[in-house]
Structure 1
Amino acid sequence: MAVGKLYMIDLSPPVRAVLLTEKALGINLEHKELNLLGGEHLKADYVKMNPQHTVPSYMDQDGSVIGDSHAIMAYLVGKYGKDDSLYPKDLYSRSVVDQRLHFDSGSLFPLLKTCVLGFTRKGWTSISDDIIEQVKTSYDFLNKFLQGEKFVAGPKVTIADFSCLTSVTALGLIIPLDEKLYPNIASWLKRCEEWPFFSAHSEGFAKAKVVYGSFTKNSSKFFAVVLVCAVVAQVAVAKVTPPPTTTAGDFMAVVGPRDAAVVPQMGWLGLTVRGILTGNNLVSWLLTILFLNMPLVALVDVLFTVSCVGGVSSIGVLGNILWLLTQIILGPLLWILQLRSLLANVINSADFIMAVGKLYMTDLSPPCRAVILTAKSLGIELELIETNIMAGETATPEFLKMNPAHALPTYKDNDGTAMGDSHAIMAFLVGKYGKNDSLYPKDLAKRAAVDQRLHYDSGNVYSLHVSIVFPMWMRQSEGISQRQLDSAKSMYNVLNTFLEGNTWIAKTASPTIADFSLATSVNAINVVAPMDKATCGNVVAWLKRCDGIPHYQEVNKKGKISTQVFSNA
């Protein structure tokens, strides 16, 4: 019995990634082949289900609908997997898989899409050196990911292998992969062929190879039929508040008025020295720290005070005995407690909050700003390390060990784990430090919606930002092309459809990390390719709501100004 319906064509690499997941899980999906050339993906009912009108789309038995192959695979493993091996629950292991998935959606597949559209819509007769170099760079990154590893995210097969495999093999038909230059990829591909479910990829891939064989690479018709069905369908055509610093007022409620009176003049250290010299409030402090029992504290304080005045009264004798016992038995413990209080006072001060990790970043980068906004929303502190890409700071051996893709942002947690890709970093931070799941829901259907939007950012929005802004920064472009303006318009229209009847981008009641990613990317693109406010009212209203997210304007302001400066230079 089928657990859901998959709208597909097996010539599509992302579809084949979902088919691999289906077979690996041992489940059955109803396969609904779409006639893309006949425009079935453009019909109103399909567009309502998937505003991007792409394949694959998945409808579960419970009515949940998901677009984007990466989100579909994660959903299927979460709901139907007998274990988590294909998509680990361990936060770090999952972050590696997420990074590889976004490497596919943000690098491998967009390059494939660019080539296909070039031959089918733009009249390419050959592939430019620039595209060839970009593909080779992606091959090189993947080869480094596989250094010392059996599979792309570690020793075991994951859904990241399914995505990268289907995209790389398709790219290899356009720009062949040199096994001598990329031996790790070559060995990995051979290991993939050993999967018992490999036929879920090989059958559809064999059809593609036959179609490719009908054309030559220099033909103006190259890929006119080849992947127009397979890839064009993938293109949318249209902080918890930190503990307060301890003050005299806070301290008065604990140690009583007599000791509190000296705090403003002497401070913590002065009060500690006074206590050690007089010995008349050590037990008070100990009892206060351990029990917070004010009547008992007051009694002992009186005993010690009488003993310090002198005399042979029974109270004075008792007080001296208590003082002596305190020094002999409890003295070392009290020193530790006092030292702890001193350290806590420093650590919790407004000027020093312990960072949970290091973020290598630059304010110019929308993904970096999305991570910073996530940290602030979680109430955690990150040590921000401004990193100069142009000076080669991301190409050092130390940096490459953390992130072979030498990209920003890169995050290194205090436990030593390091990861790249903003989307994977945000998910990791929410999983490890979030007090609830509002930023990244645990409910599978809701999370799938967030994942789909995150991958839409990787493959469509941020990738468009890179194609427009980076050449301007590098002085390789004098402005934005009409093609890029058209792409921006299409992107705005898709986002406007996502937001129809919704407050936030993933149909949630409050902002998620998908809002952080897309809003920072969209704001950057809007500087150089302004949206039509008349036709994108939902996007305009959403961005205005984003301005109301705590810390959003603070985090985004500097980067937005930098983008304006560079684009106008």
Structure 2
Amino acid sequence: MAPTLYMVYPSPPVRAVLITAKAIGLELELKELNLTEGDHLKPEFLKINPQHTVPTLVEEDGSVIWDSHAIMTYLISKYGQHKESLYPKELLKRAIVDQRLHFESGIAFPRMLQIAGPIMRKGKTSIEPDDVKLAHEVYAFLEKFLDGKKWIAGSHITVADYSLISTISTLDLFVSVEENIFPKVKTWMKKMESLGEYEANRKGLEMSRETIESKLTKKQSTNKSNLMVPSIVNVQLSPTLHTVKMAPKLYMIPYSQPVRATLMTIKALNLDVELVEVNLLNREQFSSNYTKLNPQHSVPTLVEEDGFVLWDSHAIMAYLVDKYGKDDSLYPKELQARAIVTQRLHFENGILFPRTMDIIRPVIYQGVKTVSSAQIEAVKEAYNFLEKFLEGNEWVAGKSVTVADFSIISSITTMDVVVPIDAKAYPNIYSWIKRCEKLPYYNLNKKGLDEIRVLIERNLK
């Protein structure tokens, strides 16, 4: 019996899964939900997926996986071994694919939603310069990723291409990818469109196009005069950042949530890693030296002795466990268990981290003194999701500690600074936090948390 996929065609994450299934020749039983009628909020669906998202995959044995990235990597690992290159087993190649997947879930897809949401749900009828800036920043990152590469993650097509093409082709409906500005991205899109499996993207994309065009009355011009790309600031880094002598080396700042999660993983694995601080307040992450390592100019960034560079905490943690772990308990190899951990990592990247940063970035960097009611409600919604995940589980992905706990505890404890967690309202989360605090490596979260707490509390009223 084929796996069942709960879906709607216009959804970019759904389309990414459909492209993947077509690429490996897997027939899925498709169950289309009517989101406008609230099918995803009905009790029967919430029992399957408390996060009430599409796509959601249900196997014949009743096992459930949601989040497109978790589903795609699971399907390749279980049903697509004849096309292993789509999600390679070789650690360095897989780590790059994972980073690109997290770029899609944490950067590209949220920014697409940021542009689409007001148009699709709030009656906005035009694309404004701020929308163009958001889209161009995504395209500019991709332009860097594609420098010297045929595909998003290297010389071969992977699930990272499938994931990103579904979002980028949708984003292109709002803010066009101009060939004279982003030639590599445009060439990549044309190559994707020539693939047989791309047919699985077309139906939903055309449905999206019709809806978007019916709502927009004005589309902002995207010429060079209004091009907004990530700026590169000529800032000198501390001397230790100019050469790579030992491995592995982690560029970091202690108060960063992703850094704290990575440091907990490193400690749990008992690894000896050289730490190099990057002063974000002084914008060292934008220096030419640093952007050569990581064009996304984020922390943490890992550099191995052989010069291999990897960024995004989720990709780094998975890579470190796979390469250096004495066992796989922190990131299990069993496919369904790993898929759940992967889903939780993307939940942190796509839900928890952005909602936290939506509050603390303006507070720390822009002098904002208050937290809006809408921001508070968004955080409480995230708490509700996590409370459900922890029902019947000691840890966020099951009965054992995994890298998902490290990732989520860093965000949840930061959220707690601005929206305190009520033990009565969220007993599962409260108990889980207490368990995390007893872990022998939790102090690596606490140290950075104390630093960020000072930065937040001195700015908030």
Normalised to the residue count of structure 2, the TM-score between the two structures is 0.90
Match of 1:406 among 256, 275, 297: 297
Question: Following TM superposition, by how much is the alpha carbon of 1:128 offset from its aligned partner in structure 2, in angstroms?
Answer: 5.1
Q: Distance in 1 between matches of 2:77 and 2:96?
A: 17
Equivalent residues of 1:410, 1:421 under 8 A apart: yes
Whether 1:455 aligns to 2:454 is no
Could you tell me which residue of structure 2 aligns to residue 564 of structure 1? 453
What is the Cα-based RMSD across aligned positions, in Å? 1.7
8 Å contact from structure 2 (residues 264, 441) kept in 1: yes
| 2:3 and 2:28 in contact (8 A); partners too | yes
Distance 1:168 1:551 in 2: 39
The 8 Å contact of residues 23 and 200 in structure 1, kept in 2 or not, is answered as yes
- Conserved? CA contact 1:78–1:444, under 8 Å: yes
State the one-letter code of the partner of 1:179.
Answer: E
Residue 58 of structure 2 contacts residue 65 of structure 2 at CA under 8 Å; is this kept in 1? Answer: yes
Provide structure 1 residue ranges, at least 5 long, that are not aligned to the other structure. 220-353
1:197 aligned counterpart, secondary structure: helix
Counterpart in the other structure of 1:469: 360
CA distance in 1 between counterparts of 2:329 and 2:414 reads 25
Name the aligned partner's letter for residue 521 of structure 1.
Answer: S
Residue range with higher mean Cα deviation, 478-487 or 367-376: 478-487
Aligned residues: 432
Q: Is the 8 A contact 1:473 1:567 kept in 2?
A: yes
CA distance in 2, matches of 1:514, 1:538: 16
Match in the other structure for 1:72: 71
Residue type matched to 1:457 in 2?
E
Residue 424, structure 1, aligned to residue 315, structure 2? yes
Task: Indicate yes or no: 2:98 matched with 1:103.
Answer: no
**One-letter code of the match for 1:214?**
S
Aligned with 1:198: secondary structure? Answer: helix
Distance in 2 between residues matched to 1:567 and 1:532, nearest whole Å: 20
Letter in structure 2 aligned against 1:136: H
Alignment correspondent of 1:34? 33
Paired residues of 1:355 and 1:381 also in contact (CA < 8 A)? no
Contact map agreement 2:119 2:216 (CA 8 A) in 1: no
Does the CA contact (< 8 Å) of 2:99 and 2:315 recur in 1? Answer: yes
How far apart, in 1, do the equivalents of 2:366 and 2:201 lie? 42
Q: Which moved more, 1:108-117 or 1:407-416?
A: 108-117
What is the correspondence of 1:280-359 to structure 2 with a 5 Å cutoff?
356-359=247-250
Task: Output the amino acid matched with 2:74.
Answer: Y
Matched, 1:492 2:383: yes
* Structure 1 residue 83, shift from structure 2 partner: 3.5
Whichever of the two has the greater Rg, that structure is: 1
Question: Structure 1: how far apart are the matches of 2:189 and 2:246?
Answer: 41
Cα separation, 1, equivalents of 2:134 and 2:112: 11
- The worse-fitting range, judged by mean Cα deviation, of 162-171 and 119-128 is 119-128
1:527 Cα offset (Å): 0.3
Report if aligned partners of 2:321, 2:330 keep a CA contact under 8 Å in 1.
yes
* Alpha-carbon shift at residue 121 of structure 1 (Å): 4.1
CA drift at 1:167: 0.5
Residue 132 (structure 1) shift: 3.2
Residues 438-483 of structure 1: CA distance to partner in whole angstroms, max 9, x if unpaired? 0000000000000000000111001111111111111242221111
CA distance in 1, matches of 2:162, 2:369: 39
* CA 1:115–1:476: 2 relative to 1, 3 Å: farther
Kindly state the Cα deviation for residue 537 of structure 1 after the two structures are TM-superposed: 0.7
* CA shift in 2, pair 1:178/1:390, >3 Å: farther
> 2: CA distance between counterparts of 1:128 and 1:525?
31
Residue type at the aligned position of 2:2: V
Alignment deviations for residues 244-269 of structure 1 (CA, whole Å, 9 cap, x no partner): xxxxxxxxxxxxxxxxxxxxxxxxxx
Q: Amino acid of the residue matched to residue 481 of structure 1? A: S
Q: Deviations over 1:340-381 (max 9, x none)?
A: xxxxxxxxxxxxxx9741000001201001111001000111
Q: CA deviation at 1:126?
A: 4.0
Mapped to 2, the partners of 1:567 and 1:61 lie a distance apart of 48
Q: Is 1:544 matched up with 2:434?
A: yes
Aligned residue identity for 1:191 = K
Residues 49, 66 of structure 2: 8 Å contact kept: yes
Inter-CA distance 122–214: structure 2 relative to 1 (3 Å threshold): closer
SS at match of 2:36: coil
Task: Select which of 511, 514, 527 maps to 2:404.
Answer: 514
Partner SS for 1:411? strand
Deviation (angstroms), 1:203: 2.1
**TM-score normalised by the chain length of structure 1:** 0.74
Indicate how the Cα distance of structure 1 residues 217 and 371 shifts in structure 2: closer, same or farther if over 3 A, else same.
farther
Cα displacement string for residues 505-534 of structure 1 (whole angstroms, at most 9, x for unaligned residues): 011x22100000000011011101222322
Identity of aligned residues (%): 44
Question: What residue identity is the alignment partner of 1:545?
Answer: R
Q: Quick check: 1:356–1:380 contact (8 Å CA) kept in 2? A: no
